[in-house]
Amino acid sequence: MITTQPFGRTGHNSTRTIFGAAALGKVTQAEADATLELLLQHGINHIDTAASYGEAELRIGPWMKEHRKNFFLATKTGERTKQKAREQIHKSLERLRVDSVDLIQLHALTDESEWEMAMGADGALEAAIEAREQGLTRFIGVTGHGVVAPTMHKKSLERFDFDSILFPYSYLMMQNPQYAADTEALLTLCKSRDVAVQTIKALVRAPWGEKQHHRATWYEPLEDQKDIDNAVHWVLGNDQVFLNTAGDIHLLPKVLDAASRFKARPTNEKMQVDLKQLEMSPLFV
């Protein structure tokens, strides 16, 4: 089984592996339902989706009548103004077929000008706070991509007391000295405030480049179980963080299998071998 631990100060014990519902963006309902069965088999109790994840919210909606109580349910708004974010939040609730979610997150908030808009007067943050006041969500988070994510999240936490963050975290990313330093500063702040830390992009092997895309992920992922094991176990080796699964349902069984067998973080020597043999290259530079 995949272990659980407190998701920050929310009071919910989430599985350390969270289902990243971007994987449902372009699948049929039958494929989505088969994915639900896999989640239930592994005891996954936390779903992370977003308004911008294609059909994902629509695929999750039919699950909620029977299974809402089984999941901590999170979605995201990528809108930056209060009015548009409010509209998107309500649309997400309709698509998910729920009266409320557990967590609403400001999505991909790393651009400086967008940050100023979303965090300022009549910005998206006000819509999230309003949703919390109306009982449409219990908690508010922020997410981001790219090498600036840790510093921007730190800036966001200095402006508002977010309950959770989400950003790229992997052995590969942490080979960037500046990114590693920024990440450690962010993790220290999150620990002091009991902010839940979600991580993404654990399975990045390299950017697609000129290669043909054969996965739904927007990067070339690791494929072999042993390589996925090392990547997943390295992330889970930091007991402060949660690992959000990759954006392809066909990789999900391998990720959950790896997580269910986690015991310890692989050594630096073993990870260095993977970097060289697999010719790994960071998605964000």
Pull the structure tokens for residue 163: 């309950």
Q: How far is CA 49 from the centre of its chain?
A: 8
Backbone angles phi, psi at 104, to 5 degrees: -110, 130
Query: Residues for the chain: how many in total?
Result: 285
CB contact at 8 A, 245 and 23: yes
The three-state secondary structure class of 72 is: strand
> Could you report the per-residue pLDDT of 102-160, keeping only the tens digit for each?
999 999 999 999 999 999 999 999 999 999 999 999 999 999 999 999 999 999 999 99
How far apart, in whole angstroms, are the C-alpha atoms of residue 128 and residue 142? 11
Average pLDDT over residues 252-263: 98
pLDDT for 1 equals 86
Superfamily of domain 4-277: NADP-dependent oxidoreductase domain (3.20.20.100)
pLDDT for 207 equals 97
Domain ranges of the chain: 4-277
> Could you report the per-residue pLDDT of 18-58, keeping only the tens digit for each?
999 999 999 999 999 999 999 999 999 999 999 999 999 99
The three-state secondary structure class of 141 is: strand
